[in-house]
Amino acid sequence: MAFELPELPYAYDALQPYMSAETLQFHHDKHHLAYVDNGNKLLAGSGLEGLPLEEVVQKSFGTNQALFNNAGQHYNHIHFWKWMKPGGGGRKLPASLQARIDSDLGGFDKFREVFIEAGKGQFGSGWAWLALKDGKLEVMKTANGESPLVHGAKPLLGVDVWEHSYYIDYRNARPKYLEAWFDNLVNWEHVEEMFAAA
């Protein structure tokens, strides 16, 4: 099944001022599209055609680096768009998720702090995550196109810390981007959906 670029679930300017229309347009129309196009070229003849995306990601990891890079980033970005929404962020968490954050991560404030630190601490391109591993919530960070999917866990929330995610709007100030993203953009409903499915 060929990869397809999904439509953004909101207008390019819907996430302003926390993420500019220009950033979103380049990120979706150029970067994500390149992962889809390159991924499709590399998928052909890989022996993994026809598998669900999650399996392509997991099976190409460590065996077909070029395909993995693009498939991994395709998966990450499909969810990244859904993990954001206008008027998101803050403490508007579904109760079931809030309870698990309290029990597994020491409460919302601690989770926010550790998640943002993971984003700051990811050296170079990559992602910071909330994931479910062995039935427990964990904060993780991964390089480039990797995700919890290839580290024995299920991604629930991820933030892109490749510089193309924030350099137009925040320059080198990655911490400012992470704080603005977490406090104003997170779509907790999609987190809840992935938590329920995990």
Partner 1 sequence: MPHLDRRAALAVFGAALASMHADAGHAQAAPETTGAAPAPAAAPPAATGPFTLPPLPYPPDRNAPSIDAETMSLHHDKHHAAYVNNLNQAVAGHPEVAAKPLHEILANLNSVPEPIRTAVRNNAGGHANHSMFWTIMGGKGGEPTGELKQAIARDFGSFATMQEQFNAAGGKVFGSGWVFVTVTPDGKLAMVSRPNQDTPLMEGGRVLFGNDVWEHAYYLTYRNRRPDYLKAWWSVVDWGKVGERYAEAKTGKLTT
Instruction: Output the six-digit token pair for 158.
Output: 């991820």
When asked if residue 175 is in the footprint of partner 1 (CB under 8 A), the reply is yes
Rounded Cα distance, 31 and 176, in Å: 22
> Any contact of residue 24 with partner 1 (CB under 8 A)?
no
Cβ density class 20-42: b for 16+ within 10 Å, e for less: beebbebbbeebbeebbebbbeb
Judging by beta carbons within 10 Å of its beta carbon (0-12, 13-18, 19+), is residue 19 exposed, middle or buried? buried
Backbone phi, psi, residue 132, to 5°:
-110, 120
**Which span sits near partner 1 by CB under 8 A: 2-10, 78-86, 91-99, 168-176?**
168-176
Distance CA 39, CA 2 (A): 9
By CB under 8 A, name the one of 5, 6, 14, 16 that touches partner 1: 16
**Nearest distance from residue 182's CB to partner 1, in Å?**
13
Query: Exactly one of 163, 189, 193, 198 binds partner 1 (CB under 8 A); which one?
Result: 163
User: Which of 170, 60, 52 has the alpha carbon at shortest distance from 160?
Assistant: 170
Task: Note whether 141 binds partner 1 by CB under 8 A.
Answer: yes
Segment 40 to 59, residues that bind partner 1, using CB under 8 A: none
Of the pair 47, 175, the CB lying nearest partner 1 is at 175
Q: Which of residues 98-137 bind partner 1 (CB under 8 A)?
A: 104-106, 114, 117-118, 120-126, 133
CA-wise closest residue to 129 among 63, 53, 60, 198: 198
Q: Which stretch in 3-11, 55-63, 87-95, 146-154 sits in contact with partner 1 by CB under 8 A? A: 146-154
> Which spans of this chain sit near partner 1 (rule: CB under 8 A)?
16-18, 20, 26, 30-31, 34, 69, 104-106, 114, 117-118, 120-126, 133, 138-146, 148, 151, 153, 162-164, 167-176, 180
